[in-house]
Amino acid sequence: MDLLNPAYVTPLISLALLWTVAVVTPGPNFFNTAQLAASCSRRHGVVASAGVATGTILWGLAGGLGIKSLFTAAPMLYLAFKIIGGCYLIYLGLKLFKRSAPAMGQSRLPHGARRSLFSAWRLGLLGNLSNPKAALFVATIFASTMPPSPSPMLLTLAVIIMATLSFSWYSSVALVFSSARMADLYSRSRKWLDRFAGSCYMLFGAHLVANR
């Protein structure tokens, strides 16, 4: 069977290992998912995870099509992508800083009701797509694990594996941070946690803009 061919198994295992390390390393996607799950609901966190997975699919397809070569051939495009992505992350961080803390005893349900599931998915998607380093990392993984001319089936399997790993990890994060204990901790510490997450967003964004 083709799927058991070593020409498929070896690069896919290598890709899965490298992508697992990338996914579990805390970054904007982690803070997005955890913050939504704790402040809104478990469903919002899981839907945001689906948004991250959607972004992973797009990055995976771009990596398979050689986005690294595109950025190398058009460095100004990469620079523009970095600046736009960094500014978006800074914008998210400022929004968290400006958000007022809830009144004592206020439940998280009204806040969850104000944010639609679509907006949670969109936040997960844009949070993933706003980091051009993800594109370069995906391209590097493809370049180091895939053969020079991978078949469409191999590329499809690679993208599926990456999206599945992303969704599984961030859904797990959502489940943890949506628990009653974590929700209570978040409600008592929301001001400082939001400021911490906002600081991380702004640091990530400033790092993207500053490092050219």
Q: Which sequence spans correspond to the domains of the chain?
A: 2-210
Q: What is the pLDDT of residues 15-28, one digit of tens each?
A: 898 888 778 777 78
**Which pLDDT does position 106 carry in this prediction?**
42
Among 211, 210, 200, which Cα is nearest to 27's? 200
Residue 148, Cβ neighbours under 10 Å: how many? 5
**Which pLDDT does position 112 carry in this prediction?**
47
How many whole angstroms from its chain centre is CA 19?
Answer: 12
**Which pLDDT does position 15 carry in this prediction?**
86
156-176 mean pLDDT: 93
Q: Which residues contact 81 (CB under 8 A, 6 or more apart)?
A: 71, 132, 135
The mean pLDDT value of the chain amounts to 77
146-166 mean pLDDT: 84
**DSSP per residue, the chain:** -GGG-HHHHHHHHHHHHHHHHHHHS-SHHHHHHHHHHHHT-HHHHHHHHHHHHHHHHHHHHHHHTTHHHHHHH-HHHHHHHHHHHHHHHHHHHHHHHHSPPPPTT--SHHHHHHS-HHHHHHHHHHHHHT-HHHHHHHHHHHHHHS-SS--HHHHHHHHHHHHHHHHHHHHHHHHHHTSHHHHHHHHHHHHHHHHHHHHHHHHHHHHHHH--
**Which pLDDT does position 177 carry in this prediction?**
86
**Which pLDDT does position 118 carry in this prediction?**
93
Q: What is the pLDDT of residues 81-138, one digit of tens each?
A: 677 767 877 887 787 777 654 443 344 444 444 678 999 999 999 888 887 667 767 7
**Which pLDDT does position 93 carry in this prediction?**
78
Residue 133, Cβ neighbours under 10 Å: how many? 15
**Which pLDDT does position 78 carry in this prediction?**
67
Residue 169 has pLDDT above 80, yes or no: yes
**Confidence band for 1, pLDDT divided at 50, 70 and 90:** very low
